[in-house]
């Protein structure tokens, strides 16, 4: 016959195991430091894999619910439903005000919806929380360029390039804006 104590131990073990399976995972800062060191290497052949790992780390809020809101916001942006994306990402930033990627994602949704002021505010917040966020720097460059401030756009793209020197789109933006700012036409 099975004892009550054995059954209770099994129930407790099941709850503990279930709890371990849903423990939230947040970004690993030491892993990010290693990834950034690698990303800064010149002529890095696998830079896209390193970049993907950084984005993966940045996407870990530490809460399964917040990660779900981030994913729903990103999915809505892929569907070009920016109003819904902004709603999901606003819920995320309201509940996770120290999660830089929530603000960066919402800045992207605002930008793609043509709302440059709110995009700038979210970029500022994302960069205050994560000064190495090259995605937010690229967003800042895009907003500044769209608003007709090529010098400020160039500064933002140069800052992103210092962190992520292998990304060809950043290199192209820097070269294009350097020519524009210096008055050289193509």
**Residue 155: CATH number of its domain:** 1.25.40
| Confidence at residue 16, expressed as pLDDT on a 0 to 100 scale | 38
Domains of the chain: total? 2
Q: Is the pLDDT of residue 181 over 80?
A: yes
46 and 137, same domain (yes or no)? yes
52 and 84, same domain (yes or no)? no
49 and 72, same domain (yes or no)? no
173 and 84, same domain (yes or no)? no
- What three-state secondary structure class fits 102? helix
Domain boundary among 70, 86, 113: 113
Q: Which residues contact 52 (CB under 8 A, 6 or more apart)?
A: none
Q: Which of 37, 56, 40, 60 is nearest to 170 (CA)?
A: 40
In a domain, 97, yes or no: yes
**pTM, entire model:** 0.83
More confident position, 2 or 58? 58
pLDDT tens-digit readout, 88-128: 999 999 999 999 999 999 999 999 999 999 999 999 999 99
| Confidence at residue 64, expressed as pLDDT on a 0 to 100 scale | 96
> How far is the C-alpha of 119 from the C-alpha of 141, rounded, in Å?
12
In a domain, 148, yes or no: yes
| Confidence at residue 14, expressed as pLDDT on a 0 to 100 scale | 44
180 and 141, same domain (yes or no)? yes
| Confidence at residue 182, expressed as pLDDT on a 0 to 100 scale | 86
SS3 content of the chain, % helix, strand, coil (to 5): 75, 0, 25
| Confidence at residue 46, expressed as pLDDT on a 0 to 100 scale | 95
Domain boundary among 78, 113, 148: 113
> How far is the C-alpha of 89 from the C-alpha of 91, rounded, in Å?
5
In a domain, 167, yes or no: yes
140 and 101, same domain (yes or no)? no
In a domain, 107, yes or no: yes
In a domain, 157, yes or no: yes
Average confidence score pLDDT of the chain: 88
In a domain, 100, yes or no: yes
Q: Averaged over 65-72, what is the pLDDT? A: 97
Contact between 149 and 165 under an 8 Å Cβ cutoff? The reply is no
Range of the domain at 177: 28-58+132-186
pLDDT tens-digit readout, 136-162: 999 999 999 999 999 999 999 999 999
50 and 137, same domain (yes or no)? yes
In a domain, 125, yes or no: no
Q: Which residues contact 135 (CB under 8 A, 6 or more apart)?
A: 55, 58, 104
Q: Is the pLDDT of residue 9 over 60?
A: no
| Confidence at residue 186, expressed as pLDDT on a 0 to 100 scale | 54
Q: Averaged over 40-61, what is the pLDDT? A: 95
In a domain, 89, yes or no: yes
107 and 153, same domain (yes or no)? no
Buried-exposed string 80-99: b where 16+ CB fall within 10 A, e elsewhere? ebbebbbbbbbbbbeebeeb
More confident position, 10 or 79? 79
> How far is the C-alpha of 83 from the C-alpha of 73, rounded, in Å?
10
| Confidence at residue 33, expressed as pLDDT on a 0 to 100 scale | 94
């Amino acid at each position: 016959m099975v004892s009550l104590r054995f059954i209770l131990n099994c129930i407790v073990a099941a709850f503990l195991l279930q709890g371990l399976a849903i423990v939230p995972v947040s970004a690993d800062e030491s892993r990010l430091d290693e990834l950034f060191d690698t990303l800064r290497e010149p002529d890095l052949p696998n830079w896209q894999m390193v970049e993907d790992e950084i984005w993966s780390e940045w996407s870990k809020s530490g809460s399964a619910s917040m990660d779900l809101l981030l994913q729903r916001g990103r999915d809505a942006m892929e569907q070009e439903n920016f109003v819904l994306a902004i709603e999901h990402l606003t819920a995320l930033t309201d509940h996770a005000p120290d999660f830089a990627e929530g603000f960066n994602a919402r800045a992207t949704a605002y930008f793609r919806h043509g709302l440059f002021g709110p995009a700038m505010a979210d970029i500022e917040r994302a960069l205050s929380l994560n000064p190495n966020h090259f995605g937010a720097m690229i967003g800042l460059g895009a907003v500044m360029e769209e608003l007709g401030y090529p010098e400020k756009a160039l500064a933002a793209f140069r800052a992103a390039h210092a962190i992520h020197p292998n990304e060809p789109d950043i290199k192209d933006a820097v070269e294009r804006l350097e020519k524009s700012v210096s008055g050289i036409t193509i």
